[in-house]
Chains A and B, each alone.
Chain A
Amino acid sequence: MPNATYISLIPLLPLAGFLLLGLFGKKIFKNSAGIIGTLLLLTSTILALYTAYGYFFDYGKVDGVYQKLIPLKYTWLEFSPSLLGRAGEGPLSIDMGILLDPISAMMIVVVTFVSLMVHIYSLGYMKGEERYSTYYAFLSLFTFSMLGLVLSSNIFQIYIFWELVGVSSFLLIGFYYDRPSAVAASKKAFIVTRFADLGFLIGILVLSFYSGTLDFNTLIQKLTSPESSELKTAVAASFLGVSALTWGLALVFIGGAGKSAMFPLHIWLPDAMEGPTPVSALIHAATMVVAGVYLVARLFPVFAISAPDALSIVANVGAISALFAAIIACTQTDIKRVLAYSTMSQIGYMMFALGVSKYGGEEGLGYTASMFHLFTHAMFKALLFLGAGAVIHYVHSNDMKDMGGLRKHLPITHITFLLACLSIAGFPLLAGFFSKEEILLAAYQQNTVIYWIALIISGLTAFYMFRLYFSIFWNKEYHAHGEHHGEGGAVMMLPLLLLAVGAVFAGYIPFGHFVSSDGKPLESEFHLSFSIAPVSLGLIGILTAMWLYKNENKKPAKLAASLSGLYKSAYHKFYIDELYLFITKKVLFNLIARPAAWFDKTVVDGLVNFTGNTTQDISERIKGIQSGKVQQYAIYFLVSAVALAVLFIYVWKT
């Protein structure tokens, strides 16, 4: 059986790192912060590998099916049961627990491994930074939150860590806090994902209300078994003609789409590249941005069995995002932004793979493929970002125009970057090839339109990745100016090499044996004939990029000019940012907030002041009556007595 202590140490060690470095970092661990953070994480990584090994090969499988184990669970906050008074309904509670199943076991390995690579890399990259210990404290906080997220056994627990992941991302994007662009980017990332989380939160409220629980296992069981009364009410209850269950899941998916930068909530991701490059590798490429995919995978049985409508939303949003981002990636010149759009596109792949999948058996191939791609993508995308980091470290610029011919200056970076590019482009026998083929196969079997879109994207992917590769490492000659410190030393190269191993060989893991929609092993068949189309498209993409960018020439500019309209709008990211700016600045500020503030100041407060002033006015006017003069009072008395007498005699006579 799994040992709860070991497993809970996996997230808790980074938390300890955060507290230690956050509270005492500046004074005590000014220089050793990196080592401390890295060592703690190394321990976590070993424990994660140990746990995953134990789960997959020892205790996880019972009768050929991988189980969902809960080695640890304690009640964090208990709510009173709802007023429905359903039979057997206990109190709702937010539990802090550990859920061990194939995807969480895989994710703890991915998160700790990539995070460890980033920790090691940062030892070199961030050396000499003024806020070195703060940086490691934030990295630890992020790693803790992300591990808590993937291990969550309760839908509210995942929301809690979801928010914590969001705030650590905010802190890290804004790490260079004196740059206005970094501040703006960090705010944007937080607010856009917060907006998406609003959907997630309401989705949780809906799902928990109908299932009567917040616990993942119970919730899935109650909302998938055909005879459960909870499922029947959730399907029967409808709002605007859509069933409550579909609403709940779609709302939850909005949260996932925000964090995973799916169209149209993607606008924060490219800007998030303002953070230090290792952070982009960790958070905005390999781990946090796949949280949305993970969330859908976590609730996959409910999506697939009970609410196929919601699942088709996932498929469509994923496919649109993948295509949209791939087109934009072809035009960007900031190398980190190219990678950011590439990430968005690849996550779109994972999303629609889930979206086209069904639950159980052969039809669940999309689920396995999605998780497989998540795994391989983490390797090669982290590698690409760290490689880009080495390049930026060397040339002190993010822009492609300042690069070129760097292959001689940065040999290790060059080779590893090339491998990663080949892997993501789906070059045969590298990791990306296997996972991408599986996704394409799943799409082919279930949804032809999405299959064709995916095919086009695989050509585009190869093109923009090699556009990037050739522009950095070939093209014009690089003329080094000033002093240079080489590639960044062993601490920066070691992670590149280790990740390169992953980017090349991760595809040989028989993924379907371990991860499948229903826990039963899935044999993925491999069809050579099926691969012909995507591979040749990929090669065409690579060759086109080579033709255009290998040597400095006028062809790219001409091509851009001939596609002027399309090129320009793609270069400007299809003006989505401008649209958002319009909505927030014009609508939210000028049409809602400003009138609200004005109304409060003028009308509501005006009434208060009016009341006060009127009272004062009236008393000012009537104070003359109380003059203190006896003669005046006598007159009042006389007149009143006469008036009353008249009243009594003539008016009120009875």
Chain B
Amino acid sequence: MNLLLLIGLPLLTAVGVLLSRNTQQVRSIAFAGSALQLVLAIALIYFFNKERAAGAAAQMLFEQNYALFPSLNINFHIGVDGISVAMILLTALVVLAGVLVSWNVENLPAGKAGMTKEFYFLLLLLAMGAYGFFISLDLFVLFFFLEIAVIPKYLLIGTWGSGKKEYSANKLALMLMAGSSLVIVGILGMYFGNGEHKSFDLVHIAQTGLSSSVQKLFFPFLFVGFGVFTALFPFHTWVPDGHSSAPTAGSMFLAGISMKLGGYGCLRVATYLMPQGAQEYSNWIIVLSSIAILYGAFATMMQRDLKYMNAYSSISHCGFVLLGIGMLTKTAIVGAVMQMVSHGLMTALFFAVIGMIYERTHTRQINEMGGLLKVMPFTMTVLFIAGLCSLGLPGFSGFVAEMTVFMGSWQNADNFHRIATVVACMSIVVTAVYILRAIGQVAMGPIKESFNGLSDASWNEKLAAAILIIGIVAIGVAPNWLNDLIRPGAEIIMNKISGK
């Protein structure tokens, strides 16, 4: 399968959106493009598994390599392993759902009438950046796509956002840029630290290996740089403001995809290329991520705005990704990747349903709602599902991912790792507290007078929710397919760490 399709299609769709004449056309093109993209992602899994089953043992499949700038040895090198395939599926699901919930973006209170086209263009550009990021095997190209996935965010929030949107957009863009600047320093450090043969090539660097002094020096740059994207404590404060001000699809992309760019980078670039660095700093990672998990959960308890609540809970949930990486066992790394996929789907669903509620009640304050189950049974069922997935109920993806992280973490037999794991486990109780509080207040209880007669979800919203729920349940009910997809990739990373 030609991986160029994965970035070509969103680009083509984005151009198509720009060229279309009216809202109807914009919607159809965006929908068709992203639906096709989902088909591509599923086909990719199919072909990937087929190749693997046929005995293709190469680390990366479907590789392509074109020279971009030979004198500096920059190549357009792409290829995928199971981890990237999983992330691509996540992206495709979230993008399609995001396109569907943005159907009426022109009606946004803060929206500019007639700018539907621009909105969808930016969404699709973001999507392309994410796909490109996940297939890049050249660090320069990877960085290029990382930036593509950031800048449209600024415009999306600044233009279509709500609340203190300018502040949030600035904060988000600046903090992510700061993260990127650390990343580029780390990448250059590897480029020049790779002895005689300077290279940006991920596979190549992994093969030759970097000297341990280079690793110890530059690992923190890369890990913290990517960590900013995935809400590494204490660099997480862009998350609540950014998510809350973003339009619904923006929040979905932000939490569902952008935060995963960071997790993927921490794993694929920082940990894989600098295993000794990872070992050196793993205790720091564990401490910071355990703090993020529990402290984030407690901070979530106090939030009154649904979007702030989910944003804070993302800090807590993304902590599991970093914790899994920091634990440096194969199972924990598999769990980290699963958590990325799971959290991406679940949080996108959560933001989608918050958007659906907000559009009807015009409030996001938890205390101002009540008894919505009576008038919006479908929407509230979705809220229940998103909430139950978030608190790690079996049958949904969150459980599988968290348990894998816990099992992997526990394999470290010393008290330090044990205590960190127990701290992380404790968050499942706190999560239950804030999720049930929100559900109990929003969906249950006596209905508020003014909410009588609100309409339930429209077809596009239902479809968006269904797509994400199918993803969540498919992982939650039969997780082994995802496990099998991720495991070989995790094993290679793990072998690097244990020095085999």
Contact = CB atoms under 8 A, between A and B. Distances in A.
Chain A bound to chain B: yes
Given A164-B395, A608-B171, A190 B301 contact: no
A155 to B, nearest CB: 12
Contacts of B421: 205
Contacts of A177: 371, 373, 443-445
Contacts of B110: none
A159 B329 CA distance: 23
B447 interface: yes
B413 A604 contact: no
Contacts of B415: 239
Contacts of B303: 597
B114 interface: no
A596 B302 contact: yes
A183 B440 contact: yes
A103 B462 CA distance: 44
A582 interface: no
Given A597-B302, A604-B237, A180 B445 contact: yes
A191 B432 contact: yes
Residues of B contacting A: mostly: helix
A596 B295 contact: yes
Contact of B433 (A76, A82, A191): A191
B301 A593 contact: yes
A92 B444 contact: no
A487 interface: no
Contacts of A75: 480
A278 B43 CA distance: 49
A183 B301 CA distance: 18
A198 interface: yes
Interface in A194-228: 194-195, 197-198, 201-202, 205-206, 208-209
Contacts of B334: 79-80
B314 interface: no
Contacts of B234: 604, 607
Contacts of B299: 593, 596-597, 600
A83 interface: yes
Contacts of A77: 400, 403-404, 479-480, 483
B298 interface: yes
Interface string A599-629: 0100011011000100000000000000000
Interface in B415-464: 415, 421-422, 425-426, 428-429, 432-433, 436-437, 440, 443-447
A608 B410 contact: no
A295 B394 CA distance: 18
A649 interface: no
B219 interface: no
Interface in B282-307: 295, 298-299, 301-303
B406 interface: yes
A71 to B, nearest CB: 21
Contacts of A596: 295, 298-299, 302
Given A604-B234, A608-B175, A594 B428 contact: no
A92 B299 CA distance: 35
A195 B429 contact: yes
Report which residue of A84, A187, A593 has the largest number of chain B beta carbons within 10 angstroms of its beta carbon. Answer: A593
Nearest to B478: A76
A80 B298 contact: no
Nearest to B175: A608
Interface residues of B, number: 61
B480 A76 contact: yes
A469 to B, nearest CB: 35
A163 interface: yes
B374 A178 contact: yes
A354 to B, nearest CB: 26
A78 interface: yes
Contact of B407 (A92, A163, A187, A190): A92
B411 interface: yes
Contacts of A174: 440, 444
A79 B404 contact: yes
Given A183-B445, A198-B426, A600 B237 contact: yes
A575 interface: no
B174 A612 contact: yes
Interface string B197-230: 0000000000000000000000000000000000
Given A164-B394, A191-B433, A608-B171, 18 more contacts: A77-B404, A80-B329, A80-B408, A84-B413, A159-B394, A160-B395, A163-B394, A167-B393, A178-B445, A180-B445, A183-B444, A187-B437, A195-B429, A239-B415, A596-B295, A600-B299, A607-B234, A612-B170
16 contacts: A80-B491, A83-B412, A177-B373, A178-B446, A184-B440, A187-B440, A205-B410, A205-B421, A206-B410, A209-B410, A209-B411, A239-B415, A593-B299, A594-B302, A600-B237, A605-B237
Interface of A: 26, 75-80, 82-84, 92, 94, 156, 159-161, 163-164, 167, 174, 177-180, 182-184, 186-187, 190-191, 194-195, 197-198, 201-202, 205-206, 208-209, 239, 589, 592-594, 596-597, 600, 604-605, 607-608, 612
